[in-house]
Amino acid sequence: MTQEQVAERFNVSSRTVSRWETGRNMPDISLLTEIADFYEADVREIIEGERKSEMMDKEIKDVADKMADYAHNEKGKLLKVIQVISIIGVIISFISIILQTIGYHRPENISIERTLALLASLAVLVIMSVTTLYVTGLLRKITNNKVLMTVIIVLTGFILTLSIMWILAAYLVVGMFALIFYSAKIKVYEDVAKYNEYIHNPEVGGTYQTCNGEMFEIFPESIDDPSKVEEFKFVYYNPWDAQYVTYLTIDYDEDEYKKEIARLENLGIEEYKDIYSVSDEPSGYDLIAMNSDTYHGFVYAMIPENEEESGKITYVGIWFCNYFLDLDIRDYVPNEYLLKGFNAEDGNPYRKQNILD
């Protein structure tokens, strides 16, 4: 008999049979009786490697049979434990991959570390799957079935190709967003003579045409006399969502002041505290009008505290999307004009709370 025929008879590999023959390994104890019966030899002859003159003693055969049964039972128990652990490992690996891929397409969720972790999980899933097939005996059946093996290889190749294309596409999207982000320029306008153009031009801000119809309703619709403007700045930034930061201080004539105060008081003050961690109005100022939005931010008008007759009104607008500003607000608006506690930085507590909700 060839090594392959012997291996098939005792359900082992031909390499195992070769190792028996060279003496590098001994047959499993559970196979001793089976080998002895097949070759019509004594168990002692199998172990010692030479023929004996007498026939196998029945008592020795019984002992060998019991030892073989015991070894087989112990091996079976261990194999079942390994099978259960392998199946559980496959399930956990699969769940891990699903959890890691949730939200993966979003640019802010894509990173080298997360990609490597995902690839590692895929590798673990493949290893656990092969181990499970091996310990359950399915791997041998699969490898012997050429058609099934071909189907598995084709499917595996397809899935791997699809996964790689998906990851590359995700990085392509991230790259495009990064290109847009870093190519976007912060536009700062301070020429009050062009206020009307800034406040109504869609390419600059489009404050009455885009984003929110009431976005800058609190701001004057136009400025007829730029000489009355003490300070003005309009900042527009659009990496992928438009962001507006602006402030304006006007010193009105008495009649104009009363008229503007009446207009602003008619607009009212919307509830603004606790939005973006705001605790109160700016120090040293009284709010006259407030347009607050839990998603976009604030637009408000205020006068110096205890100076109702000063004639000065300061307007402030901070309008953005996605619960955070890419701009550092303190680089563009004086700190004394900001609402107390205002925090719209990336990762701010208010954003985290709303995303979780």
Q: What 8-state DSSP symbol labels residue 224?
A: S
The residue among 118, 136, 154 that closes a domain is 136
Residues 232 and 332 in one domain: yes
Q: Note whether 234 and 327 are within 8 A (CB).
A: no
- Chain center to CA of 35: 58
Instruction: Output the pLDDT for position 269.
Output: 94
Residues 293 and 196 in one domain: yes
User: Residue 49 and residue 336: Cα distance in Å, rounded?
Assistant: 98
pLDDT in tens, 90-103: 788 778 777 777 65
Q: Tell me if 27 is assigned to some domain.
A: no
Instruction: Output the pLDDT for position 264.
Output: 94
* Total count of residues recorded for the chain: 357
Torsions phi, psi for 298 (to 5 deg): -140, 145
Instruction: Output the pLDDT for position 134.
Output: 73
Instruction: Output the pLDDT for position 111.
Output: 65
Residues 117 and 216 in one domain: no
Q: Tell me if 150 is assigned to some domain.
A: no
Q: Tell me if 223 is assigned to some domain.
A: yes
Q: What 8-state DSSP symbol labels residue 101?
A: H
Q: How far is CA 172 from CA 8, 43, 98, 175, 222, in A?
A: 53, 68, 21, 5, 44
pLDDT in tens, 187-226: 888 988 888 777 766 555 444 334 344 567 899 988 888 9
Q: Note whether 29 and 46 are within 8 A (CB).
A: no
Residues 73 and 192 in one domain: no
Q: Around 133, how many Cα atoms within 13 Å sit in the side-chain half-sphere?
A: 13
Q: Tell me if 86 is assigned to some domain.
A: yes
Instruction: Output the pLDDT for position 64.
Output: 64
Q: Tell me if 274 is assigned to some domain.
A: yes
Joined together, the tokens standing for residue 120 give: 């590692």
Q: Tell me if 7 is assigned to some domain.
A: no
Average pLDDT by consecutive 10-residue portion of the chain (357 residues)? 87 86 82 83 74 58 64 67 79 78 59 73 78 73 74 78 75 65 76 80 48 66 89 87 89 93 94 95 94 91 85 93 88 95 91 76
Instruction: Output the pLDDT for position 250.
Output: 95
Instruction: Output the pLDDT for position 109.
Output: 58
The residue among 136, 153, 175 that closes a domain is 136
Domain count, the chain: 2
Residues 125 and 208 in one domain: no
Residue with tokens 């207009």: 263
Closest CA to 315 of 216, 225, 241: 216
Residues 207 and 351 in one domain: yes
Residues 215 and 347 in one domain: yes
Q: Tell me if 176 is assigned to some domain.
A: no
Residues 339 and 213 in one domain: yes
- Chain center to CA of 175: 16
Residues 270 and 335 in one domain: yes
The residue among 136, 168, 199 that closes a domain is 136
Q: Note whether 312 and 230 are within 8 A (CB).
A: yes
Quote the domain boundaries for residue 236.
Answer: 187-356
Q: Tell me if 73 is assigned to some domain.
A: yes
CB atoms within 10 A of CB 273: 13
Residues 132 and 194 in one domain: no
- Residue 179: helix, strand or coil by DSSP? helix
Closest CA to 249 of 300, 316, 308, 340: 316
